[in-house]
Amino acid sequence: LVQVAGTVLPMYGAPGWMPRTIVVLLALGFVPALVFAWVFEMTPDGIKRDADVLPEKSIASHTAQRMNRLIVATLVLAVIYFCVDKFVLAPHREAALVATTTQAAKAEATTEATQKARDNSIAVLPFVNMSNDASNQYFSDGISEELLNVLVRVDGLSVASRTSSFAYRDKCVGSVAIAKDLGAGYILEGSVRKSGNKVRITAQLIDAVNDRHMWSETYDRELTDIFAIQDEIAKAIVTALRGSLEATKAKPVVAVLADTQNMEAYEIYLKAREMFIARKDVDQSVRLFEKAVALDPKFARGWEGLAAASAIAGSWGYHDRDYTALAAKSARQALALDPKLSMPWAVLAMVENTKLPINWEAAMQLHDKSVAADPKNATAYLWRAISWDNLGFFDRALADLDRCIELDPSYQNCTRWKAVALLNSGRTEPALALFQQGVANGFIRNRAAEFLPAMVRRGDRLAAELLMASFGTQPKLNSLLLDALAEPSPPSSTAKALANRKLIEGDINSNLSIGTSRYYLWLGAYDLIATSPDIDSDSQIAWDRSQPAFRNSAGFKAVLAKLGVPAYWRAKGFPPQCRGQGNNDFICDPIQADNRQVVR
C-alpha cells in the first residue's frame, strides 16, 4: 500500500505530506489491527470473539483462502502496473522531462545570449541638426556616421548599421523602444550646431535596458577640432562600456581616421557621401567628391568616395562622361594613399566586370581583397554576391547576401539581389515574396525586369502591366511583350519578327529600365542577345528562367562566352547546374517549362 501510494500520488500532484500521513496511520493502526485479528473472527453471524466460536462453526480457513486470493490478485495487478509504468509510462515521462529541460535550457541560453549581445551592442542615432541652416543636416548626419564608423572598428562592440539606425529619424519613438527593435543595449544620440568655423556637439549615452543616462558631454570647439571631438566621444563610450567589453576578452581600441586637415574638403566630403548613400543626384555626388580631392589631393577617403560614386553612376542612368575610367583611377589613388581601405578593391572588381570578356579570376580576387580589408563592409559582400550570381554560383551569392543582410538588415539592395539570386536558382515563390517586400518599401524598379515573367506566369497580369508602365515604354509595346511572356516558350515567330521590327524602328533602346537584351530574350530572338549593347550591364540574363528554350539554344552559350564565364569555370570549376563537355564545350541542366494556366 505504501509503495503504491508513493508511486501513484505524485502522478496526481498530491502534496508531499500525504504519503507520510499514510505511513503514520498504518503504523498507528498496525497493533490494534493485529490484536483485533487475533481476538476476533468473522462468522456468518457477524464478528465474534475467537474463544466463543465452536471449531465446527469456524470459517477461518475459508476466510484465509479468500484473503490469500485477494492478496495474490492485488500483487498480480501491482506487478502489471509496475511493468506498464516501467516499460511504457516511464520512457514517455523521461522523454517529456528531457524535452522540457532541453527547451528550458535553450530558452535560458537564448535569453543569456541575447542579453550578452545587448550588453555589447550600441545604436548610433542621427544627431539632430540644431543649426539655423536646415541644409546643414548633412553635417550632423556625417558626424553621426563618423562616430558609427569609429565604433564599428572597436573589437567586441556590435554596432547597428547606419541604415537601421537612421530609419528612426524624425520618428516619435523612445530610445528604449528603438534599442529593443535594433537589439541594442545602448543608444548614442545627440545634436550638432554649426556656425561658421564653430561647432557645438552634444552627445549622450543611454543604457536602454535600464533606461538611464550613463554619460553626456557638450563640446564647444573650432571646426578644426572635429576629429579630436570624435575621438573623445568614442573613448568616453568605450570607457563607459569597458565592463561589458572586457567580458568579451576584447581589447577595445579607438581609432579615429583623421585623414585630412582641410575642413572645407571634409565638409564637402560629408555632403557628397550623404548624396551617394541616398543615391540622390549621383552625378552631383561625383562632382562634390572631385572638389574635395582637389582641395586635398591626399584625402584617401575622398578618393574612395569618388571611386564608389563613379562606379555606380552608369547603373543609375548617367552616361555623360567615362565614369568607369574615373572609378578605376580614383580607386587606385585611394589605395595608394591608404591600402587598408575596403571599397576601392570592390570598385576595381566592378570595373573588371565592364571589360568584355570579363576576367572573372581577377575580379573575384579583388572582391576577396575588399571583404578581407573590412569584414563588416556590407557593400563588399553585396558586390561579390552579384559576381557570384553572374557566374551561376547561386548558393555562394546567397551566402554573401545573407551576410550583407546580417550586417545591415535595412539594406534594401541586398534584399533585392537576394530575390534575384533566388529567382535565378529556381526558387520563384520566395523570390517574389522578397521582391514584393521591396515594392512595399518603395524599392520598385531595381532589377524589376527579372520578375515580370514570373508575375505573368502566376497570373498577375495587372500587377505586371502596372510595373511595366513605370518603365517608360509605349503601351502597345508593353502589351506585345506581356503577350509574348504569356506564350509557351519559345514565343512564336510573329513575336520574333515584331521584336526585330520594333528594334529597327527604335521603340526599344538600351537607356530604358528594360535593356535591349531583355526584349530579345522575351520575344524569342535568342541569337541576338549576345549582340545587345547592354549585355555587360545585364549579365544575369544568362540565368533568366522565363524562357526554358533559351537554355538549350546557341544564344545561351554565346552570351556566356561573351561574358567570359566558361573560361572561369574551366579554371576554377563549374557551378552545380553546369559541367564541362569535351575540351572547350559545356552543358547546363535544362529548365522545366512552367505549364500553369496563364491569365491574359
Phi/psi of residue 343, nearest 5 degrees: -60, -35
Q: Which residues, in sequence order, are CB contacts of 400 under 8 Å at separation 6+?
A: 381, 382, 384, 385, 388
Q: Which of 96, 128, 152 is the last residue of a domain?
A: 96
How are beta strands 40-43 and 46-49 bridged, if at all?
A: antiparallel
pLDDT at residue number 599: 36
Phi/psi of residue 142, nearest 5 degrees: -65, -40
Does 27 map to a domain?
A: yes
pLDDT at residue number 111: 43
pLDDT at residue number 504: 44
How far apart, in whole angstroms, are the C-alpha atoms of residue 256 and residue 242? 18
Does 537 map to a domain?
A: no
Cis peptide leading into 91, omega within 30 of 0?
A: no
* Residue 591 Cα to chain centre, angstroms: 28
pLDDT at residue number 2: 60
Q: Kindly state whether residues 89 and 213 are assigned to the same domain.
A: no
Split the chain (600 residues) into runs of 10 and give each run's mean pLDDT.
63 68 71 62 58 54 62 74 69 66 54 51 86 79 84 81 81 81 86 85 86 84 84 83 59 71 91 84 93 95 95 85 94 95 95 91 96 93 95 96 90 88 90 83 67 81 77 70 72 60 50 68 82 73 86 90 93 93 88 47
Q: Kindly state whether residues 152 and 230 are assigned to the same domain.
A: yes
Residue 544, SS3 per DSSP: coil
Q: Kindly state whether residues 125 and 173 are assigned to the same domain.
A: yes
Q: Kindly state whether residues 137 and 64 are assigned to the same domain.
A: no
For residues 391 and 360, the answer to whether their CB atoms sit within 8 Å is yes
Mutual angle of helices 475-486 and 461-469, in 10-degree steps? 140
Q: Kindly state whether residues 34 and 91 are assigned to the same domain.
A: yes
Does 536 map to a domain?
A: no
pLDDT at residue number 288: 95
Does 557 map to a domain?
A: no
Q: Kindly state whether residues 15 and 85 are assigned to the same domain.
A: yes
Phi/psi of residue 46, nearest 5 degrees: 110, -165
Q: Which domain holds residue 150?
A: 119-258
Q: Kindly state whether residues 42 and 139 are assigned to the same domain.
A: no
Does 292 map to a domain?
A: yes
How far apart, in whole angstroms, are the C-alpha atoms of residue 427 and residue 212? 47
Q: Kindly state whether residues 18 and 55 are assigned to the same domain.
A: yes
What total of structural domains would you count in the chain?
A: 3
DSSP characters for 470-521? Answer: TTT--HHHHHHHHHHHHSPSSPPHHHHHHHHHHHHHTS--TTSSS-HHHHHH
What is the residue type of 453? P
Q: Kindly state whether residues 253 and 296 are assigned to the same domain.
A: no
Q: Which of 310, 337, 371 is the last residue of a domain?
A: 371
For residues 499 and 520, the answer to whether their CB atoms sit within 8 Å is yes
Q: Kindly state whether residues 291 and 343 are assigned to the same domain.
A: yes
How many residues belong to the chain?
Answer: 600
For residues 6 and 78, the answer to whether their CB atoms sit within 8 Å is no
What is the residue type of 193? R
pLDDT at residue number 90: 67
Strand partners, 414: none
Cell of 202: 552634444
pLDDT at residue number 114: 43
Does 485 map to a domain?
A: no
Does 400 map to a domain?
A: no
Give the CATH number for residue 304. 1.25.40.10
Q: Kindly state whether residues 321 and 243 are assigned to the same domain.
A: no
How far apart, in whole angstroms, are the C-alpha atoms of residue 56 and residue 44? 13
Does 134 map to a domain?
A: yes
pLDDT at residue number 511: 41
Let me know the angle formed at the C-alpha of 252 by 247 and 254, rounded to the nearest 5 degrees. 155
